Amino acid sequence: MSANQHSLLLDRGNLKRRNRFNKAVEITSTTAAVLAVVVLVIVVGSVFLKGVSALSWHFLTTPTALFGESGGGISNAIVGSAIMVAIAAVMAIPIGVLVAIYTTEFAPPSIAHPVRFVLDILNGVPTIITGIFVYGLIVVPQGHQSAFAASLALAIIMLPIVARTAQEVLTLVPGTLKEAAHALGIAQWRTTLRITIPTAAGGLITGSLLAVARVAGETAPLIFLSSIFGQGMLTAPGEALASIPIFIFRSSESPSSTAHTEAWAAALVLIAFVLALNIVARAFYARSRKRMGA
């Protein structure tokens, strides 16, 4: 090789500048990433530090004390939240998954695309508006709040999350599998049921869990739909039920410092639940990706 050719490899003067720019971009993006993690650590850390002192077995297993009394717990709120989220999940997950199956497996693109767009808009609707909508739909005609109404609002919030994640996962199922099934003479519905859904199962579970985690902490619609409830352990979905978000909301409004600590403790319970769901969801997602050879 001649010296001439080597000179092509030499610095043309902007090498230092390029290196500095590279460095700058690297440092800024790293800082942003660190910041995000720091925020999470501060939130979880402060909730933990402020709430852990009030957290006890008694706190988790006792219903909220009467107004003005101390020593109560959040068992009624946990049960109420669980009931409402469970009903919402039962409504939203099957419908969401079916919507996804329809758009990915059966609908022509001319229908699938608008459906996807509508789901995205639904996902963007502020939850307080969903709350007002259900309030007008159920609470006003019935004349009283109910856990069922809250569940319906939560289900409406969950639906686009479930459907969109399910769509993503179902489109990840390799076309070669469906092709193989068709070539074996397996009918379309059977292919969907026996091949596509089992293959995507992990991802479908992931989407559902994330949707559950998302609505477990949802507060705004509950204020309209299930915030005026009776004392003690209530379980009938026909009436308003206690919930963790409302408990946190109420306790933080209270002037008592004990109530504040209890609000932190309840927040800790909620955050732990959401974190746990996210971790489980990740595990399912990893399994699903492995299956689909991604």
Q: Closest approach of Cβ 179 to other proteins, in Å?
A: 7
Q: Which stretch binds other proteins (CB under 8 A): 48-56, 119-127, 233-241, 285-293?
A: 285-293
Q: Any contact of residue 186 with other proteins (CB under 8 A)?
A: yes
Q: Which stretch binds other proteins (CB under 8 A): 21-29, 111-119, 182-190, 272-280?
A: 182-190
Q: Any contact of residue 172 with other proteins (CB under 8 A)?
A: no
Q: Closest approach of Cβ 209 to other proteins, in Å?
A: 20
Q: Which stretch binds other proteins (CB under 8 A): 4-12, 62-70, 191-199, 217-225?
A: 191-199
Q: Which stretch binds other proteins (CB under 8 A): 81-89, 134-142, 173-181, 208-216?
A: 173-181
Give 8 or 184: the residue with its C-beta nearer to other proteins: 184
Q: Any contact of residue 174 with other proteins (CB under 8 A)?
A: yes
Q: Please select the residue that binds other proteins; options are 40, 187, 236, 276, rule is CB under 8 A.
A: 187
The letter for the amino acid at 30 is: T
**Contact set for other proteins, span 75-114 (CB under 8 A):** 108
Q: Any contact of residue 293 with other proteins (CB under 8 A)?
A: yes
Q: Any contact of residue 177 with other proteins (CB under 8 A)?
A: yes
Q: Any contact of residue 201 with other proteins (CB under 8 A)?
A: yes
Give 145 or 206: the residue with its C-beta nearer to other proteins: 206
Give 58 or 182: the residue with its C-beta nearer to other proteins: 182
Q: Which residue has the tokens 């978000």?
A: 245
Q: Any contact of residue 58 with other proteins (CB under 8 A)?
A: no
Three-class DSSP labels, the chain? CCHHHHHCCCCCCCHHHHHHHHHHHHHHHHHHHHHHHHHHHHHHHHHHHHHCCCCCHHHHHCCCCCCCCCCCCCHHHHHHHHHHHHHHHHHHHHHHHHHHHHHHHHCCHHHHHHHHHHHHHHHHCCHHHHHHHHHHHHHHHHCCCCHHHHHHHHHHHHHHHHHHHHHHHHHHCCHHHHHHHHHCCCCHHHHHHHHHHHHHHHHHHHHHHHHHHHHHCCCHHHHHHCCCCCCCCCCCCCCCCCCHHHHHHHHHHCCCHHHHHHHHHHHHHHHHHHHHHHHHHHHHHHHHHHHCCC
Binding site for other proteins (CB under 8 A): 108, 174, 176-177, 179-187, 190, 194-195, 198-199, 201, 291-293
